[in-house]
Amino acid sequence: MIASPPSAPTARASRPLPWLPPAVHAAVLLGGLYGGLVTDGTVRPARLAGFAACLLVLIALDRIEQRRCPPRTPPRPAALLLTVRLVLFAAAVALDRSGVSRALFVLVPITAFLAFGRRVGVALTVACTAAILLGNVLWVPRWYLRTDVVTDLLMSGLGLALAVAMAAIAVGEQAGRVRLADTLDELRESHGRLADYAARVERLSTARERNRLAREFHDGLGHHLTAIAVQLEKAAAFRDLDARIAERAIADARWSAGRALDEVRVSVRALRDEDTPFSLSSALADLVRHVDGGPARVTLDVSGEERGYHVESLTALYRAAQEGLTNAHRHADAHLVSVRARYGEDEACLVVADDGRGFAVGREEDGGFGLRGMRERVDRLGGRVEVEAAPGRGTRVTVTVPREPVGAEAVRR
């Protein structure tokens, strides 16, 4: 059984850069308090308290937003929160004497980018840069001649641009993690399905191999054991009447036992994937020669050329002949059994007919294990089995197999 991989935590519910706003707010709070305490040597408690209150409210908003909306704030609440933050940013800048609070506006494009997307983030970046430039134009006389103002303006624009770039990288990284998490989920599901398929294939393969071995034992050992039993009964019956016939029957029983042992060895070699040559014509002649002379006379007629036929097709015909002869001896009480094999260009046909008591097609005999196993074997090769029988009119079994079993050529390629 294939083990399922351990589940890995996904990043679907994570917020990009969750640490950045609280860190900026805390840094501005500390910087503003320090600047308010040391600037001009005078301390204005009311302004410091108002400034600190603005920053603490911003920190509280960050905490509430991240707790209430872990993955992403919906558009309407995000717009409201952004408006509130802009008001608090402006109030903090107005109350701050150190100027450090202007760094708060770096969070505007980042927040907009994460909440509303790239276009809104870039637009607000341009708007913030324009607002800073306009403020300098309106309230700072000859600002373009002051190095500190121009430098501050350039650094502000650069900071806003870097903020947008950082937000874009964070969003892209989060999207990549989400895609990776989705891919891992798909792989996990595929792995589970693959494990189920592998277990199902294993069960089906085991059942198929079990059925194949059952057919081999029934068609091979079953036939020879039946032949041995028939020959020993014949030897016992003629022991006192004709010693020559009894000895011939015992010799045929020995032959059947030897053949059974040979077929067991062939089956073992087949399980080891060892190719063994097989001639159907010779095997049928050998089979008929040792079966003939019992209660029924057996004839064989072979026409055509078997060269080029796949060994599985020839083996299926041989097993069908064994099954037909076994049924004729055990059940049919036949006096004459004919075996005919025809090799055509595309398919071969084997007919086993007897003049025994027959049976009604569709009854239990037609669905016995022997005929059922024969059909399974032939169907797997792409052939067909036809049974013609009637009570008192004998039985005729026709087996047709293709020269090349279904799928054999593709497997060989």
Q: Are 100 and 28 in contact (CB under 8 A)?
A: yes
| Tokens 């075996």 -> residue | 339
Residue 154 confidence (pLDDT): 82
Q: Are 317 and 401 in contact (CB under 8 A)?
A: yes
Tell me how far the alpha carbon of residue 303 is from its chain's centroid.
49
Segment 314-338 shows an average pLDDT of 84
The one-character DSSP state at 7 is P
Task: Give DSSP secondary structure letters for 272-335.
Answer: TT------HHHHHHHHHHHHTTSSSEEEEEEES--TT--HHHHHHHHHHHHHHHHHIIIII--S
Q: Are 359 and 389 in contact (CB under 8 A)?
A: yes
Segment 89-107 shows an average pLDDT of 82
Segment 84-90 shows an average pLDDT of 87
Q: What is the dihedral of CA 108, 110, 116, 122, to 10 degrees?
A: 80
Segment 335-356 shows an average pLDDT of 92
For residue 157, pLDDT over 50 is answered with yes
The one-character DSSP state at 407 is T
Tokens of 259: 């053949």
The 10s digit of each residue's pLDDT in 218-237 is 666 666 777 777 778 878 88
Secondary element (H or E) of residue 71: none
- Residue scoring higher pLDDT (190 or 212): 190
- Per the prediction, the chain carries an average pLDDT of 79
Task: Give DSSP secondary structure letters for 207-219.
Answer: HHHHHHHHHHIII
Q: Could you tell me the pTM of the whole model?
A: 0.43
* Confidence bin at 344 (pLDDT 50/70/90): very high
Query: What residue ranges do the domains of the chain occupy?
Result: 19-187, 280-407
The 10s digit of each residue's pLDDT in 363-410 is 544 445 677 878 888 998 999 999 988 888 889 999 999 998 875 554
Superfamily the domain 280-407 falls into:
Histidine kinase-like ATPase, C-terminal domain (3.30.565.10)
Q: How many CB atoms lie within 10 A of CB 19?
A: 10
Tokens of 206: 């085991």
